Amino acid sequence: MTLLPRPLRAVVLVVLLLLVLFPVAYMLFASVSSDLSVAAGHFWPDRFDLGNYGRIWSTTPLGRGLANSIVVAGAVAVLCAFVSLLSAYVLVRFAFRGRLSVLRGLLALQSVPGTLLLLPVFVLFSSTATLLGIQVIGTRWALFLTYLTFALPFSTWVMVTYLRGLPRELDEAARVDGASSWTVLVRIVLPLSRPGLVVAAIFAFLLGWNDVLFASVLTDPQTRTAAVALQVFGSTQEGGAIPVYGQLMAAALICAVPVVALYLIFQRYLLSGLTSGGVK
């Protein structure tokens, strides 16, 4: 992009912005339009009606879905960031047999499609209920354990890449002053790893927030996430005379608000965390 002449660069940026913002603008206008107006294909509302944002809470259990998503995805994000930091610190700062195999395994796990693991995960949780009498399917724990398992390899690799960019001299100086490995991790590595932790946490959060496949199979109506609630609501509108397009668009925008807020709040950490390790 920087190699293009300035006028051409401006044209390309405008085109890209239109491609991104047009669907968002359509959803926004549709959410404040009547269902007849949306069904007729009108882009601009005949009259602005914010009632769709109030009616959606009684039409579908979106509030319960949002609460489940925030609890599960938030817990996965926090624990995944903490565990990935500990794992990356050991992999980067200590030499032991099998270290390279673990690092290569983290990369190899990224190539396994999550769809292939749906049946094994379901059978594993079903066997746990049969053998140990612990009910997992239909609870938030099923989603928590699943998302945490899938998010840890990538988050750990992100932290490995980030910690490689931190100078070892900081650790050595702290050890000269008598600091233990845990003190070095908490007092030195943790504060300096904030951008990498934000990237790892947001990735884990988005994994749990956007997932529909595992959440559809491993939950019941009381533990459904917002993504599943939105999917069920959309599927129930198919085949009707005039679906409630306005409420459907309003629900989609409401589900997108937490993700947009995360990016806006942690934008500067994301930029530095994603680019760390790119230049050595």
**DSSP codes, 32-81:** TS-HHHHHTT-SS-SS--TTHHHHHHHHS-HHHHHHHHHHHHHHHHHHHH
Task: State the pLDDT at residue 72.
Answer: 94
Say if residue 19's pLDDT is above 80: yes
Q: Read off the pLDDT of residues 68-123 as tens digits, 9 standing for 90 and up.
A: 999 999 999 999 999 999 999 888 888 888 888 888 888 787 778 878 888 888 88
pLDDT score, position 225? 92
Tell me, what amino acid is at 225? T
Using the predicted structure, report yes or no on whether residue 273 has a pLDDT greater than 70. no
Looking at residue 109, its pLDDT comes to: 78
- Mean of the pLDDT values across residues 11-37? 86
Q: What is the pTM of this model?
A: 0.84
Quick one: angle between helices 62-93 and 52-59, nearest 10? Answer: 90
Q: Specify the pLDDT at position 70.
A: 93
> How many residues does this entry show for the chain?
280
Instruction: Please name the fold of domain 57-275.
Output: MetI-like fold (1.10.3720)
Contacts of 152 (CB under 8 A, 6+ apart): 80, 83, 84, 87
User: Per-residue pLDDT tens for 211-242?
Assistant: 999 999 988 888 999 999 888 887 776 655 56
Average pLDDT, rounded, for the chain? 84
Whether pLDDT at 49 is above 90 = no
Q: Is the pLDDT of residue 130 over 50?
A: yes
Q: Exposed (0-12), middle (13-18) or buried (19+): which is 117, by Cβ within 10 Å?
A: middle
Q: Which residue has the higher pLDDT, 67 or 278?
A: 67
Tell me the average pLDDT across 44-70: 86
Strand residues in 93-164 grouped as ranges (E) = none
Q: Are 165 and 34 in contact (CB under 8 A)?
A: no
pLDDT value at residue 148: 92
The domain spans of the chain are 57-275
Please provide the distance, in angstroms rounded to a whole number, between the alpha carbons at the two ends of the chain. 23
